[in-house]
Structure 1
Amino acid sequence: MPSVSQTLRLVVIAPDSLQPDAGDDYAIEQAERSRALRIGLLEAGYNIVAVLPTDTFLAERLAQLQPDMIIVDAESEARDALEHVVVASRDARRPIVMFTNDDDTTHVKDAVAAGVSAYVVAGLSPERIRPILEVAMARFQHEQELRRELAHARSELNDRKLVDRAKGVLMQRQGMSEADAYAKMRRAAMDRGLKLGEVAQRILDVADLLG
């Protein structure tokens, strides 16, 4: 993941068209807002690699494009757009920044819980774009580090449980002391280039087979 000082590759999730029907005032307003956001992103130095709709191919397109960040440009359909994006990016997490003029903030909490790094309601000006995206990237990277640390802690806890069970098997079946059982497992791990937890799992697997 690039640092915030480098040019980020963005995918913008936005309304399908910037050229709505002339008589549709609402669509015209949304098109102008969406155009202004994209211009602001470009002027801030970001690289917009694609503008995509929230359709069934979104996950595939994101996998192909591998953007650094996803920008969701949504109005009253913000909840539906966000759900599509979260589902499409769940296998490869990326920071998500949502820009909307929808003043219904009842689902902001759900959006943040779903993985949105920044949720920006109205009042967008070009000079605000870079700080918003930099903070969103920093927050995402911090959360990813916390996730890695949690996963590592869970893995270590699981390994300790496996080692304790495997020591019990060796102590029971080979009459070893706890210290000797642990030493034997450590030697086996070093000799085979395995983690202690992997050796413990093999011992337990063999014990299950032998009954």
Structure 2
Amino acid sequence: MIDLFYWKTPNGHKITLFLEEAGVDYRVHPVDITKNEQFAPDFLAIAPNNRIPAIVDTDPADGGAPIALFESGAILLYLAEKTGQFVPADARRKAEVSQWLFWQMGGLGPMAGQNHHFSGAAPEKIPYAINRYVKETARLYGVLDKRLADRPFVAGDDYSIADMAIYPWIVLYERQQQDLADFPNIRRWFDTIAARPATARAYAVAETV
């Protein structure tokens, strides 16, 4: 059983996408970041960086004590390796998945997050900051679009944790002032993932919290 400490953000959706696809039993523990619940001592004991998501695996593969994890990319890798799903065993193919997973963690996520902040949440509209992050988001979309020009998924023929990490950030393309008509390969990939039954189930979780 996986205990998932979750809120309905792109990073939270990454983990429900995996759990629904893999058919892993899990329990959702909402952490309402609008009420600063991520700073509660019990949650900080699991996720010291006070960010969702986090998990506790109550039945780790080694049969030992429960394993707690924070950081969405680390969680995806852990779950993929535990279940043997959505990450290849072959070293070369696994490297393809890993580099695009980390591309999302280090690039798309932080830049799109700053885009969201300065375009929508900041108390003061700073044109320089808005322009900077909208343009950088567009650049990253261009990188992804080029990558998807000759393959169905970011790491090749198979759906992987790299796609699961990237997709929830593309869901918010309008908020990021992007037009998927400008990125036809992303549009095709996006529609393919949106049509997966597990994607619908994962996003339905957000309606329960």
Give the TM-score taking structure 1 as reference length: 0.22
| Higher relative contact order, structure no. (Cα contacts within 8 Å, ≥ 6 residues apart) | 2
TM-score normalised to the size of structure 2?
Answer: 0.22
- Higher Rg of the two aligned structures: 1
| More strand, by proportion | 1
